[in-house]
Amino acid sequence: MTGRDMILPAAVLAGAALLAPLPFLVGPFWQSLLVNILMYTALATAWALFSGPTRYVSLATAAFFGFGAYCMAFLGETLPLPAVLAVAGAGGALVAAVVGLSTLRLSGVYFVIFTFGLAELVRQIVTYAEAKFGGTVGRFVFVDVTPRDIYWLLIGVCVATFLIGWWIARSRLGWALRAIGEDETVARHAGIDTTRAKILVFVISAAIMSVVGAIMAPRWTYIDPAIAFNPIVSFQTLIMALLGGAGRLYGPLLGVVPLAILFELLQANFPNHFSILLGLVFLGVVYFVPRGVAGLLDDGRAAVARSAARKAHPAE
């Protein structure tokens, strides 16, 4: 492994070290905004681990996020925090494996519709179970976790997610995923076990999302299915990843930072019209930045390289 290959891990660790002390330097508002940015950085990057190379558009983020939040709500008072996070990750992975075995043979719009329906199905099941067996819908989350703890835990998840993505991109699994994204039929004929590859990365992505949900649950103190399984989480994650560019590991981060700030402003000033404005942002991203900011940067570098090549070898 060359020194160039280690640039990204080194940059990720350096960035984490720079971000870690910020809760001591900023006020509650900025700390809250940073938590939102870190949460969506982890979610969007985890989403892109699977959807970026395979081009399978998933709207199941809210299902796994909500699963993790409810793990914290049910187990937070009886188990240590690391154990709850482990249960959330393992449970989310198990759910993703079961779902993946039955759905990842779908593709295109069918997969999009199913994953959106999955999140809604899980929300309805949790609502029914709470009303039927708990006598009420929603529960308080009493866990000894401070906002600073949430911030630092999210930094750890973001670092782990980037390192996992870096490893996948350089492995045979990453090569298989890129082949699936180019042409899944050709990939199968080339001897790639496409189902196994897709399920494995779908499981990894879902586990990360579930852990993020578990970390975020204490922030709200009280959760119910409408909060934990809010479809807005799925759509915002998708839009952020697409704006930044899901084809690059660092791409989602480029979309998360500006859109997290924008969505914060829109929710504060236009709460009754937020869904409409979110849809307009999505249309703008799809029409005007189809390959994301990372794609624009790649095009710029390619243009500079071509210009340099023409100067170095002018036509005779």
Q: Give tens-digit pLDDT for 2-60.
A: 556 677 788 899 999 999 999 999 988 899 999 999 999 999 999 999 998 888 888 99
- Cα distances (Å, whole numbers) of residue 46 to 16, 51, 118, 209, 226: 17, 9, 18, 7, 22
What is the mean pLDDT of the segment spanning 188-215?
92
| Average pLDDT value for the chain | 88
The verdict on residue 55 lying in a domain is yes
The verdict on residue 9 lying in a domain is yes
Query: At residue 174, does pLDDT exceed 80?
Result: yes
Pairing of strands 139-140, 222-223: antiparallel
Q: Which residue has the tokens 């039929």?
A: 185
Higher pLDDT, 235 or 316: 235
The verdict on residue 116 lying in a domain is yes
CA within 13 Å, CB half, 68: 31
The verdict on residue 274 lying in a domain is no
Q: Among candidates 291, 300, 276, which has minimal Cα distance to 243?
A: 291
User: Given pLDDT bands bounded at 50, 70 and 90, which one contains residue 108?
Assistant: confident
What is the mean pLDDT of the segment spanning 249-253?
89
Element (H, E) at 267: helix 251-269
The verdict on residue 256 lying in a domain is no
Q: Give the pLDDT score at 315.
A: 55
Q: Which two tokens stand for residue 69?
A: 């939040």
Q: Give the pLDDT score at 288.
A: 87
Q: Give tens-digit pLDDT for 71-91.
A: 999 899 899 999 999 999 999
In angstroms, the CA 210 to CA 67 distance is 6
Q: Give tens-digit pLDDT for 121-171.
A: 888 888 888 888 777 788 888 888 999 999 999 999 999 999 999 999 889
Q: Which domain holds residue 54?
A: 4-232
- Cα distances (Å, whole numbers) of residue 15 to 8, 161, 230, 297: 10, 14, 30, 21
The verdict on residue 287 lying in a domain is no
Q: How many domains does the chain have?
A: 1
Q: What share of the chain is helix, strand, coil (3-state, %, to 5)?
A: 80, 0, 20
The verdict on residue 247 lying in a domain is no
The verdict on residue 271 lying in a domain is no
CA within 13 Å, CB half, 127: 12
